[in-house]
């Protein structure tokens, strides 16, 4: 995840971790489409965030936001099913800020609460990789339910 975050910097990266019995065995790097498609039609972005993003060139928008590419996500989900893996973690990076969920992160997690069971995936832990201090990346894990954020146990390999 740290390598993915560093390779994507200054943009946010995003991805999934899957495995069995609480052990991750597969990483899925997912494209961040905010820089490609903008955010105007995305319900997780409030008016102020949309305005802020619209003021940036398209190639800079992914520096402060992410939305996972639906095709990459679907391919990852299919691969998990074929391999008998469970979704365990949704991760993304904060290239310039601490490893703390933003309001947008909380809103996105809230929107997905009901969706996970509908698409036959477990509710994941959310991991944020902060590259605010690039020499010492900070990884933190959270559970987000009903817009409430609590720390979660996570031990990176």
Q: Are 13 and 93 in contact (CB under 8 A)?
A: yes
**According to the model, what pLDDT value does residue 47 have?**
53
Domain contains 44: yes
Alpha helix segments (H runs only) across 29-143: 34-37, 47-54, 70-83, 103-112, 115-118
Domain contains 157: no
- Residue 123: φ, ψ to 5°: -70, 120
Q: Indicate which CATH number applies to the domain containing 88.
A: 3.40.140.10
Domain contains 147: yes
Q: What would the pLDDT profile of 97-147 be if each residue is shown by its tens digit?
A: 899 998 878 888 888 888 888 888 888 999 999 999 989 999 999 999 999
Domain contains 156: no
Place of tokens 């490893």: 99
- Residue 55: φ, ψ to 5°: -75, -15
Domains of the chain: total: 1
Question: With bands split at pLDDT 50, 70 and 90, how would you rate the model's confidence at 65?
Answer: low
**According to the model, what pLDDT value does residue 55 have?**
61
| Cα 147 to chain centroid, rounded | 16
Question: With bands split at pLDDT 50, 70 and 90, how would you rate the model's confidence at 35?
Answer: very low
For residues 69-81, average pLDDT: 93
Domain contains 58: yes
Domain contains 7: yes
How does the average pLDDT of the chain come out, rounded? 83
Question: With bands split at pLDDT 50, 70 and 90, how would you rate the model's confidence at 45?
Answer: very low
Q: Looking at per-residue confidence, does 26 or 97 come out higher?
A: 26
In this model, does residue 154 exceed pLDDT 60?
yes
Domain of residue 133: give its range.
Answer: 2-151
Q: Which of 128, 123, 97, 130 is nearest to 109 (CA)?
A: 123
Question: With bands split at pLDDT 50, 70 and 90, how would you rate the model's confidence at 64?
Answer: low
Q: What pTM, to 2 d.p., does this model score? A: 0.81
């Amino acid at each position: 995840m740290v390598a993915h975050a560093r390779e994507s910097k200054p943009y946010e990266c995003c991805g999934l971790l899957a495995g069995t019995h609480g052990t991750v065995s597969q990483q899925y790097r997912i494209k961040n489409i905010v820089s490609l498609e903008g955010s105007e039609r995305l319900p997780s972005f409030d008016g102020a965030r949309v305005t802020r993003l619209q003021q940036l060139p398209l190639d800079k928008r992914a520096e402060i936001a992410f939305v996972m590419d639906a095709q990459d996500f679907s391919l990852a989900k299919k691969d998990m099913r074929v391999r008998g893996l469970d979704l365990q973690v949704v991760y993304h990076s904060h290239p310039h800020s601490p490893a703390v969920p933003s309001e947008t992160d909380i809103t996105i997690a809230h929107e997905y609460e009901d969706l996970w069971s509908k698409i036959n995936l477990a509710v994941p832990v959310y991991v944020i990789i902060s590259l605010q201090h690039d020499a010492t990346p900070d990884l933190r894990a959270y559970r987000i339910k009903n817009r409430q954020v609590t720390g979660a146990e996570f031990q990176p390999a």
